[in-house]
Every structure is written in C-alpha cells, then in structure tokens.
Amino acid sequence: MSKRSFLRTLGLATLGLAISSAATAQQVIKLTVAAGHPPVFLWVKLTEEVFISEVDKRLAAAGGKYKIDWTKAWGGTLLKLGTESKGVADGVADIAIVSTIFEAAKFPLQNVTYYTPFGSDDVGVINQTVLELQRTIPAMNDAWAKNGLVFLNGMALDSYHIWTKFPVAKLEDLQGKKLSAPGPSANWVKGTGAVAVAGSLNTYYEDIKSGVSDGALVFATGAAGAKLHEVAPYITKVNFGAMFAGGLVINKSVFDKLPPEVQKALREAADVWAQEYVKRQGAAVATVLQNMTAAGAKISELSPAERKRWADALGPVAKTWAADVNGKGGPGDQVLKAYIEALKKAGTTLPRDWSN
C-alpha cells in the first residue's frame, strides 16, 4: 500500500471512529406522554404539534447530546380521563395533561375558577392569574408535588355557554331541563330550575342524543370538537367565563433524574405550548361559532339582566367551597379573595362578587 493510500485509509478510519463516538455519545431518553382526551381537542393537538416538537428542537439546537424517544397515547388509550395524575405518579405515563376539573379532590385550589362563574372570558388572563396564585400561595403549588408531579404549564378553556335542544331567553326556560355539566360546574345549574347531569366532552354528544340530558354547559372549542351543535342546535352565549382546566405535568421522580439540559427543554417547550394554546384558542372561538351557524345552529346571547339573574340565583357557591377547603386545612378564603381581586385588577366586570 502506498503512503498516500495508507493515509487515506487511516483518515477514513479515524472519521468513522469519530462518527461512531458521536453516535454513541447521544443519550436516548424514552418518555411516554398521554391524554384522556383525543387530539381533536386543541390542548392535546398542540401537545403533539408544539410541545413535543419544541422539546426536540431545543435538544437538537443544544448539540444533540440528548434525544427523546416519544411514545404518544391520546384519547384515553393509556390513561382515562380523570386518572391522569395517578397514572403519571404511578409511572404508567411520564407526562400527561391533567384535567384538574375532573380531579378536584386532589387539586381543590386549582378549581377556584369553577366556583366563581361569570368571570373573565379571556383565557390568557385566567391562565396567568392561576399561575400567579400558584407562584405566591405555596399550598397551590404544593398540590402538584404532593401528588408526585412537576407542573410544567397550565391551560384555560374559553368561556362556557350552553348548547341545548331548546331556545333559552330567560332563566324560566331552563325549568325542569337536564343539563350535562362537568364536575364543579354543576353548581352553575343549582337554583335555576334545571338539573345537572354528570358528564364530559367524551359523553355529551351521546347523552344529549339519547335524552340523558337536554343540553350541556360547555366552551365553544370543546363543543366544536364534540360536534354538539348536531344534537343541541340552540347555542346561548351565557358567558360563564374562561376556566382554568389543568396543564402539562411530568412524574417528579422522572423529572428529577433528567439532565438539566432536558429539564430546561421541557419547561421552555411547555411555555411555548401554553402561549400557542392561548393564541390559537382565542382565534378559534369565532371561527367555530361561525361554522356552527353555517351548519344550522341558532346562536343568541343572554341579556346582561338575565345573566345577573342567573348569577344571583346561585347559592353561595364560592364561599361554601372556600369554607370546605378551610375545613381541610387549606387556604380557601385566601385563594378566593386573591383570585377575585386579580380579576378586578384585570378589568373584569363581575355581575356578582363571589368573595363577599
């Protein structure tokens, strides 16, 4: 072999060794991410399209030392709705969207929005308000750690209205009707003459179609994904307000063992996920309502007077909730007062001050 051929061979061998070393230097981390809802709903869709892609992008930009091998399980295929926090804590999944509305016993303080209806309809305001409460009131943030979780970022749902089989112009139109309502939102029905029926976005369509209920309390983007206008074509814009609904979490033990670079990527990606969610959800509301109208739905808006009548017809929902939290050793009154003060500071007009 000539000297030139020898050097060329040596060079190729050295290059191959370098490539092999680089390949073996990359650490592949397996993570499973799950959701009880299917990807037709925006928060799940963006978990795949934004959160996961942003994590991958950041790790690649940092030199590719770490790579995530993702397993995705949507629509309750791994974790059923309402079991997400336990599933993540138990290691069934590593990351999931926890819907705090369906896990109120574990996250009572995160549900303050559902006990103070007729608030702000701005999803950004609601999400940031609850995040700030979590930052300043230790008991709120501690709820995640107590359940074996690390909270990455949250989400609020656009303002709730009602989808019904019948027109609604005044409170009396609800007399004797059955309305599907998730978790604590059943309190919005008490005192109106209607009866609340337990359910979720996964059940509303069939419940209304089969007569289990005559309609549902739901937010526009969720109603669109569930196609509720097909079975409940009367849409009454009550504006119960946007509601904090939970967020992305990761198993605490898993998170603590991850390299700092990966932890940073997960947190930053969750921030982008939350920002994009607020942006897209706000823009989607008008579009989905227009599409429902085009499909034959009839949209009306409850008058301010009737909206106030509805709010006043409800019992002391928030104070009862706060007293219950207080009785269990939690800062119910503190969270309620801080939340209402934050809404007022943000310029929200409240037909009823729940803190009084």
DSSP for 176-222, please give it: T-EEEE-GGGGGGTTTTT-EEEE--TTTHHHHHHHTS-SEEEEEHHH
CATH number for the domain whose boundaries are 14-157+244-285: 3.40.190.170
Q: What is the pTM of this model?
A: 0.87
Backbone φ and ψ for 66, nearest 5 degrees, come out as -125, 145
| 18 has pLDDT over 70 | no
pLDDT for 283 equals 83
What are 246-274's pLDDT values in tens digits?
Answer: 999 999 999 999 999 999 999 999 999 99
Q: At the fourth CATH level, which superfamily is domain 160-242+288-345?
A: Bacterial extracellular solute-binding protein, family 7 (3.40.190.170)
What are 306-324's pLDDT values in tens digits?
Answer: 999 999 999 999 999 999 9
Question: Could you tell me what percent of the chain has a pLDDT over 90?
Answer: 88
How many Cα atoms are found within 13 Å in the side-chain-facing hemisphere of 138?
Answer: 0
Count the neighbouring beta carbons within 10 Å of the beta carbon of residue 236. Answer: 22
pLDDT for 212 equals 98
Where along the chain do the CATH 3.40.190.170 domains lie? 14-157+244-285, 160-242+288-345
Angle at the Cα of 232 (from 227 to 237), degrees rounded to 5?
95
> Rounded to a whole number, what is the largest CA-CA distance in the chain?
99
pLDDT for 271 equals 97
**With contact defined as beta carbons under 8 Å apart, do 148 and 141 qualify?**
no
